Amino acid sequence: MLICTGCSCLCDDIEAIVEGKEIKEMRNACRIGADLFLDYNMNRASCAVDGESVEMENAMESAMNILRGAKNPFIYGLDNSTISSQKLGVKLAKKIGAVIDSSSSYRQGVVMEKILSSDIKTCTLDDVRNNADVILYWGSDPSNSHPRHMSRYTYFPRGERRLKGWETERKAITIDVRKSSSAIVGKNNVKILPGRDADLIEEITVALDGKVPSASVGIEEKKIIELADRLKNAEYGIIFTGMGLISSIDDNLSILGDFVNKLNEFAEFYLIPMLHPVNTRGLNQTLFDETGHTGKVKFNSSGGTVEYGAAYSFVEALKSEDMDAALIVGSDPLSTIPFSLSKKLIDIPTITIDSKKTPTTEISNVVIPSAKIGIEVGGSMLRMDGVEFSFDGIIENEWKSEAEILSNLIKMI
């Protein structure tokens, strides 16, 4: 059996039919995992410096020179990387006095920090499969983002305390601005107006206390009371948060922890973020263990002193033009940041380590190709719930792993 690195479910029941260096067939994989494995060798990145093909040694030397000459370098990404690569990224950041940031700093990194600080109760997906009778997906659509999530862990499977599963013993509820694919599956959809998630949390809290909520959030009072009662009467409840919720309550994230604590006055409730990319949990854990924070961390090369805050985010540094070099590892920020900022990234000396060609590799001064994680090279990652999985590569190849590349850069600088 293989571990699929297609998403942060890290499904461990995958089979691949391999002939030489070609993967002929996938079994048990979802569409994301199947595409990852079957098309693993397409659109490969290649060694380049300023758009010209070079040998690996030349690319490494050019990368070293960029990082050596930088006064405020950034390391961005690593959330698709193995734990060993993430730790090496921290080691490199300390050596050159770099900032480490990733997409989780504007996604669910703050929620992860509250979980790792024990401010919000969490559990494992195995606990959910065995025990949960009320499953709340808030601002998330697992049917599309994590296709096997509902079938393996939450709504459909038989569990130790839920032998009848979805037929009679589980309720799946979705709260979203639209009727998503997951809402159709779970059949209990609460449609909310954009940006009103914090207001709905407050109205549910009112109903939990036995008071009458208002209809100011665009949802009937009766429906809010029914939702509150269902949560209140849960034997074992779980909330899976998505970006729809997090982006809505971005300036008021403490309300989420207060809500989970409130629910625990009546029932047993936990929270797990629906994390993406695949090893976001691993990066958050690595940074938290090292610094007490989950992202946007600046290391001081002279003494390892850590600074933290919004000023050290990749996006803010692009806006303020403070960044003078960028090392991108296994990520494609050019496809996700606003166009006005992507133009600024083009003007910054940029190194990208990646297995595939992306818009970011296309504008990078130095491109260093790496082995495909989970297929050509092994390692370990943390599932979205913090459970660690180790895996081996299944295809022999000539590519260096991200960990080897980062380790060599550390030695060279």
Surface-to-core class of residue 257, CB atoms within 10 Å of its CB (0-12 exposed, 13-18 middle, 19+ buried) = middle
Model pLDDT, residue 187: 82
**Sign of the dihedral through C-alpha 306, 309, 314, 317:** negative
Residues of the chain with pLDDT under 70: 302-303
pLDDT of residue 229: 96
pTM of the model: 0.95
User: Which distant-in-sequence residues (6+ apart) come within 8 Å of 366 by Cβ?
Assistant: 48, 49, 59, 62, 63, 66, 350, 351, 352
Q: Give the CA dihedral 273, 298, 335, 41, nearest 10 degrees.
A: -80
Q: What CA–CA distances, in Å, run from 390 to 11, 29, 155, 386?
A: 12, 18, 26, 13
- For residue 77, the cross-strand partners are 329
Note the pLDDT of residue 308.
82
SS3 content of the chain, % helix, strand, coil (to 5): 40, 20, 40
Which residues, including other chains, have CB under 8 Å from residue 157's CB and lie 6 or more apart?
129, 151, 165
- CA distances 377 to 366, 369, 390, 400, 403, Å, are 22, 13, 11, 9, 10
CB 355 within 8 A of CB 377: no
At residue 302, the pLDDT reads 67
Q: Which of 278, 243, 275, 241 is nearest to 79 (CA)?
A: 278
Given the DSSP bridges, would you call strands 48-49 and 366-369 parallel, antiparallel or unpaired? antiparallel
User: Closest Cα to residue 79, out of 257, 244, 246, 273?
Assistant: 273
Q: Are residues 325 and 348 in contact, defined by beta-carbon separation less than 8 angstroms?
A: yes
Residue type, 98: A
pLDDT in tens, 167-183: 889 999 999 999 999 98
pLDDT at residue number 105: 84
- At 303 the pLDDT is 60
For residue 254, what are the contacts with CB-CB under 8 A and spacing of at least 6? none
pLDDT in tens, 96-120: 999 999 998 878 888 999 999 999 9
Peptide bond into 333 cis (omega under 30): no
- 100, two tokens: 């480490």
Q: Quote the pLDDT of residue 195.
A: 93
β-partners of residue 352 are 328, 367
Helix (H) or strand (E) holding 83: helix 83-96
- The Cα–Cα gap between 132 and 40 comes to 36
pLDDT at 218: 86
**What domains can you pick out in the chain, each with its CATH number?**
46-103+278-373+400-412 (3.40.50.740), 109-273 (3.40.228.10)
- Asked if residue 206 lies in contact with residue 102, where contact means CB atoms within 8 angstroms, the answer is no
Burial of 33 (0-12, 13-18, 19+ CB in 10 A): buried
* Phi/psi of residue 300, nearest 5 degrees: -105, 115
